[in-house]
Structure formats: C-alpha cells, structure tokens
C-alpha cells in the first residue's frame, strides 16, 4: 500500500502543496490535470527521481521518502518509451530480469520479438515493450506518465484496455497521470484531479 | 546524383588517386627496383641493422602505452565537461582541445622547457624520457577523447539513466556503467583510442626531440630516407624503409578498419536531448578540471617563457637571464638559418596552396561518398575508407613517397619546384576535410535544395545562396584545420624540403633547436619561432571554435 502525505514541490512556481495520495493494493488511480500542472513531477517525486520540498512517502508502512529511486521498488513508464538502442528487445528485458522474457512478451502481445532491435519498433510496440520490462521487474507500484498520449486514439484505447487487464491480473497497483479525462475514466478505478496550486 | 555532381565526383576521386596513389606507387617501384622484391629481407633488415634494431617494438609499446594513458587522463575530463555545467564552457573546452591542433614541434619545445634543466630537470635521467613521451602523447591526443565522447555525454537523454535506476539491473552505479554508459560510449572511445594509437604510432617531432636515440618507425624512416631509393648506395636504407613502411601500413590500416567496423556496428540512433536538460552543477568536478586546464596550457605557456630565457655562458652570472635575444636571433636569422619572416612566408604560401586544393577536393569527395551511400552503399563505404588512406601512410612515408615519386618523374623538380611540400600537405589534410564535411553533408536537409530548385535556382546558384551559407560552419572549420595542419606540418616537410629556400616555421624551429647548446640563443630562438607559430594556430583555432557545432560528435 502506498501512502503519500503532505507532498509539496515547487520550482519557479508551486506545483503542488500538501497533497495526500493513498493507493490500496491492486488499485489503479488516475491523476488528471492540464499540461504543466506538475503531474509528471508528482510521479518523479513518488519514485524518487525528484526530491520533495516537504511531505513523506510510505510503501507498505515503510518510510521511503529519503530512499534512492533504485531502492524503492517503484516502476515507471515514461511519456516516450525509454528503450536502450544498443540492446535488442530481449536485452532491454534483461535489464529487469534475466528470465521470463517469452512470457512477458506474450503478455503484452509481442511474441517472437526477442531478437528484434528496438529501433524498428513502432510507437505502440515500444510502449508495450516498456510495459513488459517494467512488469518483469515486479514493482510494488507502477507509475504511468501519459504513456499513450503520442499514439492515435484507437491504438491508445486498445493499449489502455490491455494494460489495465494485465495490471489487474497481477494485482499491481498503479498511478496513471493524464490530461485526458476519458482515458483516465477508462483506465482507472478512481480519479483524482490535480489541485490548482495557483 | 545529377550529371554535374557525378562528373565532379569522378574528377575529384581521379585527382585524389593521382595525388595519393601515384607518388606512393612510384616510390614503391623505385624502392623495389633497388632492393628487389624480397619481403623476408625487408623485415629481416629491421633486426639486422643497428639503426632499426628494436624500433618496431619500441613503436608499438609506446603507442599502446600512450593510448592507454590518454584514455585514463581524458575520460574524466570528458565526463566533467559533458555532464556538469560550467561558466565560460566554450573557453574551457577550447583550452582543453587546443593541444590537438598545436603543431607537434611546438609541443616538443614546450615539454622540453618543462622537463629541461631549468624546469623539472629530469632529462638528465634517460629512464624518464619514455614516460615524458607517453605523457606528451596523452597531452597531444586528449582532445580526441573529449571531442568524440563529450557530445554524447552532454546531450544524452537523461531519462535513459533515470529509467535504468528504476530497473533491477540498473540499481547500482556499477551496473549503470556496465549496462548503459560503457556500451554507448564504447564506439566513440574505441574510435578515439584507435586515432590516438595511429597518431602516437606515427608521432615524429615529439619522438625526435624527447626520446633522443629511441626511434619510432616514423622517425627512423625520416632519418634514413635521404639514402633510400638510390641504387648501389646504402641499399640497407631502402630495405629498412620497405620493411618499416609495410609494418606501419598494416598496423595503421588495421586500426582504421577496426574504428570503421566498430563505429558502423554500434552507431545507435540515440535519443539526444538538449544539453541543458542533462547537465548539472557539481563543483566536485573542479578536482578534475583545474589540473586538466593546467596540464593543457602549461607546455604552451612554457614555450613563450622559454623564448625569453637565455642561458648564461658565464657560470658566475647565474644559470640564465631574461631577455629578447632569442627573438632577435630568430628574426635576423644567421649564416645557416633563414630569418623567421622567410619561413613565415613559405609556411603561409604552402598553407594557402594546400587550402585551395584540399578544400574543394575534400568537399566534392565527401559529396560523392554521401551520394553513393544511398545508391551504392558498399562503394560509398569503400571510397570512405580510401579517403582515409593517408592516415595509414604517415607523414614521413608520404614525404618519402612524394620525394622519390617526383625524382622518378623529374629529378630536378625535387630541388626546384617550390610547391612540392604543398603536395604532401594536400595528401595529409584532405582526409580531415572529408571527415569534417561528411557529417555536415549527411545532416543537411535536402528539402532546402529541392525548394530552391522549384524556385528556379540553378546548381551553382543553389550552392552559393543555399548550401554554402548553411554549411558555412563546416567549411570554416575544414579550412582552419587545413591551414593549421599545413602550417604545423613537420614530418613530410622534413623529408621533402631538400632546398633550404623552402624552409617552413616547423623546420626552422627544428634547425634552431638542433644547434649545439653552447649557442645561448638556440633554445630561446626555437621557442620564439614556436611562439609565432603557436599564435597563428591559436587565432585559427579561435575562428574554428566560433563556427563549431558543439552537438556534432566525432569531429576533429
């Protein structure tokens, strides 16, 4: 279970202040807000890539606020899939786990892609691979930063459905940030609007 | 590829082949006619003659050690320059990369001043010569690692590392180095290492002046070249040159081939980000940066200081005094030395003559390679490697090739044709033009040309109104490189310039330094001329830096 309490972060302006988030096991939360409101920064703070001005984050009752991102056990899928061009599909998966590649690819609909180079993957395939890799690492929580925003509507909707099914089948809690309300409604169990900090 | 471009490409490659292949072929024919076709004898001569004994071993060992030392010294510098944000970054980068364009004879003078009797005073101990040479090569070549690796380090998408930190096999710093940095940096590191090996292998001025008596293949060939290729006279010299050339050619060609293969296999389409996104402020980098700046600038400052320090002949008046005597001696010249103005004129003349030929030649060849890459990729790659051939030949070999080749065609030209050294300079500088222009041509958006075509512009008009302004930076950098390299060229000129009227600034520096040290002005005069050459190089370098595209990797 993820408990975020009093999260506050500002750069040149305050992005969010005294924000509380609670995520039950297996729950999928959608965070809605317009571009530039601090959605991505919120996810980066939760996984530890950005530091908080104040507030605390606890995972399964353990305070991880000061823990390095690599030690938190939280996974994240970036807006644009981050795939390593010097590695094949299988090589990218190996960064998460040395085993289970075939099953992971089958789960995301990329069977037989093991030996392919990532440069030849389409946008949708790239995001599926990023998802497979993130899940293979067995994260305690998965954070999704508008991962399908660059795809066309049909593909985006299909992928959202697929990812939701996979997460539910694994009972993996997740937070999706998006500016698209219908996407959030389709994907999430619960929706939270980013508070207006201005 | 239109007709005009095809014709220009054919002419440029024919001309380049004539300039490179004909002299070398004639030289080989000449040498073989003297020695007979006897490869075993050529190689055996290297271990039979005291002149060449142990030279191959020494060359390979010092080049390997120099490459390793350059890697160890340069990579931390490339890292702090690429990953951290600094005030006045362009100036810092210029200081750190200046050594590569500084003529090696200037580096030799500066380093001799540092390690000489009024500096660290370690030249009395022969065991330090070897290390001095290795560190000098590292000083000279560190710009290669910085230029090849820093663009990748400074502009790589930070999400690549952030994503890895969230994955099990990227949790430790070591695993991120192993899984991300090392594989991505490997191609530029290998390319820089191979080029460093090539330049250390063929180093001449530094070897000649720093390791007295310890020859490399290059310096030994330059030494024996005057007696090579003459039938019935010191045939061992011809045997030695043939053996040394073949070894040198094989090793250098292998290094260049390796560079090309690794770069092609691992040229990832990296997702670059804007450099200010990835760079962070970390003052701990000063631990690397400050010593690096001192290391890069000290030999150059030493040259200038050394030009004013005159050894006292009378021991009662101290070791040395300060004065402008060295400058005066250099300006006036002497019975056996040309005045500096004469060498200056020759150097400038050769440099501009080289530029007039090498720039259009290199550009049209780069354009042809680019065109062929799309329609006949294999031929394009072959010609790409062919343009690098002079890298595998080394300056002394080129000088010897030009000299023997010209003697074969017209013996009197070897002493009467003033422009002869420029021919060797063209051979040595054209590959650099191709290497600088090719990435620029590849990144040039062809829609600019297509749009100009539909506006009714003819090819010449398109070149001057569209292409030239857009590729201006690469043209300026290429021109500056050609001028700087020609001005500082020493190895080939040393072999070719048989007429004392053809003396260039580097040759004059060498001549002054070679004067017996009882002349108190020998060292300061050589340093004074080196300072003039250094000033010219620095002006050219500053011009180039204004036009350099900082995000372009792998550029000299």
Q: Please check whether residue B240 is in contact with residue B544, taking contact to mean a CB–CB distance below 8 angstroms.
A: no
Identify which of B164, B184, B270 has the shortest CB distance to residue A95: B164
How would residue A197 be classed by pLDDT, with cut points 50, 70 and 90?
low
Cross-chain Cβ contact A49/B162 below 8 Å:
yes
Say if residues B537 and B101 touch (Cβ distance below 8 Å).
Answer: yes
Residue A179 lies in a domain: yes
Helix (H, G, I), strand (E, B) or coil at A31: strand
B303: nearest Cα among B179, B209, B177, B232: B209
**Contact with chain A for residue B270, Cβ under 8 A:** yes
- Residue matched to tokens 């001329």: B529
Contact B165 A49 (CB under 8 A): yes
Residues 104-123 of A with CB under 8 A from B: 119
Are the Cβ atoms of A78 and B163 closer than 8 angstroms? yes
Q: What is the pLDDT of residue B363?
A: 94
Identify whether the C-beta of residue A87 lies closer than 8 Å to the C-beta of residue A154.
Answer: no
- Tell me what pLDDT residue B464 has: 86
**Calpha distance B360→A8 (Å, rounded):** 61
CA distance A144 to A29: 10
Q: Is residue A198 part of a domain?
A: no
CA angle in degrees (0–180, nearest 5) for B284-B287-B292: 135
Nearest to B160 among A49, A74, A82 (CB): A82
Please state the rounded mean pLDDT for residues A88-106.
91
Dihedral, CA atoms, A24, A25, A26, A27, nearest 10 degrees? 0
pLDDT at residue B466, as a whole number: 85
- Tens digit of pLDDT at every position of chain B (556 positions): 577 788 888 999 999 988 888 877 877 887 787 777 778 877 777 777 777 778 888 899 999 999 999 999 999 999 999 888 888 888 898 889 888 888 888 888 888 888 887 777 777 777 788 889 999 999 999 999 998 888 888 878 888 889 999 999 998 989 999 999 888 888 889 889 998 998 898 888 888 888 876 678 888 877 777 666 666 666 677 788 888 888 888 888 888 788 777 766 665 555 555 545 567 788 888 999 999 999 999 999 998 998 998 888 776 766 778 888 889 988 988 777 889 899 999 999 999 999 999 999 999 999 999 999 888 888 888 888 888 888 777 677 777 777 777 777 777 777 778 888 898 899 889 998 998 898 888 888 877 877 777 777 788 888 888 888 888 889 999 999 899 989 988 888 887 887 778 899 999 998 888 887 778 888 899 999 999 999 998 888 888 877 776 544 445 5
Nearest-Cα distance to chain B for A129, in Å, is 13
Residue with tokens 């980066």: A44
Hey, is the C-beta of A196 within 8 angstroms of any chain B C-beta?
Answer: no
- Contact (CB<8Å) A95/B171: no
- Cβ of residue B236 closer than 8 Å to a chain A Cβ: no
- Which has the higher per-residue pLDDT, A198 or B438? B438
Q: How many domains does chain A divide into?
A: 1
Residues of chain B contacting residue A76, judged by C-beta atoms under 8 Å apart: 163, 166
Which structure tokens are listed for A9? 């972060």
Cβ atoms of residues A15 and A41 within 8 Å: yes
A94 shares contact with chain B (CB less than 8 Å): yes
Measured between CB atoms, which of A70, A75, A95 is closest to B179? A95
Count of beta carbons in the 10 Å neighbourhood of residue B539: 13
Q: In this complex, is the C-beta atom of A100 within 8 Å of any C-beta atom belonging to chain B?
A: no
For residue A111, being part of any structural domain is answered with yes
Residue B104: how many CA atoms within 13 Å on its side-chain side? 22
Q: Determine the Cα–Cα distance for residues B352 and B359; give it in Å rounded to an integer.
A: 10
Quick one: pLDDT at residue B334?
75
b (16+ CB within 10 A) / e for B468-503 = eeebebbbbbbbbbbbbbbbbbbbbbbbbbeeeebb
User: B522: closest CA among B339, B342, B330?
Assistant: B330
Domain boundaries, chain B: 3-22+61-303+332-547
DSSP A38: S
Q: How far is CA B33 from the centre of its chain?
A: 32
Q: In whole angstroms, give the CA distance from residue B331 to residue B341.
A: 7
Query: What value of ipTM does the predicted structure carry?
Result: 0.79
**pLDDT value for B224:** 76
Residue A56 belongs to a domain:
yes
Which residues in chain A touch residue B174, judged by CB atoms under 8 angstroms apart?
Answer: none
Tell me, yes or no, whether A86 lies in a domain.
yes
**Residue A47 to chain B, least CA–CA distance (Å):** 8
> What distance in Å separates residue A165's CA from the closest CA in chain B?
22
Give me the CATH number covering residue A102: 3.40.50.300
CATH number of B3-22+61-303+332-547: 1.10.3720.10
Contact: B162, A71; criterion CB under 8 Å: no
Q: CA-CA distance, B424 to B507, in Å (whole number)?
A: 15
Q: What is the residue range of A9's domain?
A: 2-193
Any idea which residue has 């430790």 for tokens? B172
Question: Beta strand A28-32 with A190-193: parallel, antiparallel or unpaired?
Answer: parallel
Residues whose CB falls within 8 Å of the CB of residue A32, separated by 6 or more in sequence, listed in order: A177, A178, A179, A181, A184, A191, A192, A193, A194
**Where does residue B516 rank: exposed (0-12), middle (13-18), buried (19+ CB within 10 A)?**
exposed
**CB-nearest partner of A84 from B160, B166, B266:** B160
């Amino acid at each position: 279970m993820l408990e975020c309490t009093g999260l506050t972060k500002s750069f040149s302006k305050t992005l969010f202040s005294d924000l509380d988030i609670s995520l039950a096991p297996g729950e999928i939360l959608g965070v809605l807000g317009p571009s530039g409101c601090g959605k991505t920064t919120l996810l980066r703070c939760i996984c530890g890539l950005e530091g908080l001005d104040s507030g605390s984050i606890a995972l399964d009752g353990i305070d991880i606020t000061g823990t390095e991102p690599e030690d938190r056990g939280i996974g994240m899928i970036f807006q644009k899939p981050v795939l390593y061009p010097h590695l094949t599909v299988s090589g990218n998966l190996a960064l998460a786990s040395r085993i289970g590649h075939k099953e992971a690819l089958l789960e995301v609909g990329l069977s037989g892609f093991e030996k392919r180079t990532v440069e030849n993957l389409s946008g949708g395939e790239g995001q599926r691979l990023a998802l497979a890799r993130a899940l293979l690492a067995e994260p305690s929580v998965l954070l999704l930063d508008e991962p399908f925003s660059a795809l066309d509507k049909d593909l985006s909707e299909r992928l959202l459905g697929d990812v939701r099914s996979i997460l539910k089948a694994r009972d993996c809690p997740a937070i999706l940030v998006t500016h698209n309300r219908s996407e959030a409604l389709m994907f999430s169990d619960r929706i939270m609007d980013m508070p207006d900090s201005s | 590829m239109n007709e005009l471009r095809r014709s220009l490409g054919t002419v440029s490659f024919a001309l380049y082949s004539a300039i490179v292949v004909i002299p070398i072929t004639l030289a080989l024919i000449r040498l073989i006619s003297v020695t007979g076709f006897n490869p075993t004898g050529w190689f055996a001569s290297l271990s039979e003659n005291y002149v060449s004994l142990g030279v191959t071993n020494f060359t390979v060992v010092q080049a390997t050690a120099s490459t390793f030392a350059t890697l160890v010294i340069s990579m931390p510098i490339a890292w702090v320059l690429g990953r951290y944000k600094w005030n006045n970054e362009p100036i810092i980068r210029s200081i750190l990369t200046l050594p590569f364009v500084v003529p090696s004879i200037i580096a030799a003078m500066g380093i001799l001043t540092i390690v000489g009797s009024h500096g660290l005073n370690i030249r009395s101990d022969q065991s330090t010569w070897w290390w001095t040479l290795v560190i000098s090569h590292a000083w000279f070549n560190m710009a290669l690692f910085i230029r090849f690796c820093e663009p990748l380090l400074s502009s790589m998408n930070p999400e690549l590392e952030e994503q890895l930190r969230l994955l099990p096999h990227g949790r430790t710093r070591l695993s991120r180095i192993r899984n991300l940095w090392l594989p991505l940096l490997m191609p530029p590191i290998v390319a820089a290492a191979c080029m460093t090996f090539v330049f250390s292998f063929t180093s001449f001025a530094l070897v000649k002046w720093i390791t007295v008596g310890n020859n490399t293949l290059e310096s030994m060939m330059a030494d024996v070249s005057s007696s090579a290729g003459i039938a019935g006279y010191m045939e061992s010299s011809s045997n030695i040159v043939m053996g040394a050339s073949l070894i040198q050619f094989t090793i250098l060609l292998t290094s260049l081939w390796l560079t090309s293969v690794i770069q092609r296999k691992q040229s990832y389409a990296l997702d670059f980000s804007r450099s200010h996104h990835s760079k962070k402020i970390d003052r701990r980098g000063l631990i690397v940066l400050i010593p690096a700046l001192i290391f890069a600038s000290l030999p150059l400052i030493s040259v200038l200081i050394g030009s004013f320090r005159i050894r006292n002949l009378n021991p009662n008046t101290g070791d040395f005094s300060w004065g402008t005597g060295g400058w005066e001696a250099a300006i006036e010249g002497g019975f056996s030395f040309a005045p500096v103005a004469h060498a200056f004129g020759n150097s400038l003349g050769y440099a501009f003559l080289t530029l007039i030929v090498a720039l259009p030649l290199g550009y049209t060849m780069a354009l042809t390679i680019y065109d062929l890459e799309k329609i006949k990729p294999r031929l394009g790659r072959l010609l790409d490697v062919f343009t690098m051939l002079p890298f595998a030949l080394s300056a002394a070999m080129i000088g010897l090739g030009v000299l023997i080749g010209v003697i074969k065609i017209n013996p009197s030209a070897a002493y009467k044709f003033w422009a002869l050294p420029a021919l060797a300079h063209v051979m040595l500088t054209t590959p650099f033009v191709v290497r600088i222009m090719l990435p620029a041509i590849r990144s040039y958006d062809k829609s600019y040309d297509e749009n100009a075509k539909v506006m009714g512009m003819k090819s010449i008009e398109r070149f001057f109104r569209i292409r030239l302004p857009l590729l201006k930076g690469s043209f300026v950098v290429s021109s500056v490189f050609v001028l700087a390299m020609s001005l500082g060229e020493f190895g080939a000129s040393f072999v070719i310039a048989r007429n004392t009227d053809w003396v260039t600034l580097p040759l004059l520096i060498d001549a002054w330094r070679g004067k017996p040290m009882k002349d108190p002005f020998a060292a300061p005069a050589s340093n004074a001329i080196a300072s003039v050459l250094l000033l010219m190089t620095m002006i050219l370098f500053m011009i180039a830096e204004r036009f350099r595209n900082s995000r372009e990797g792998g550029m000299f």
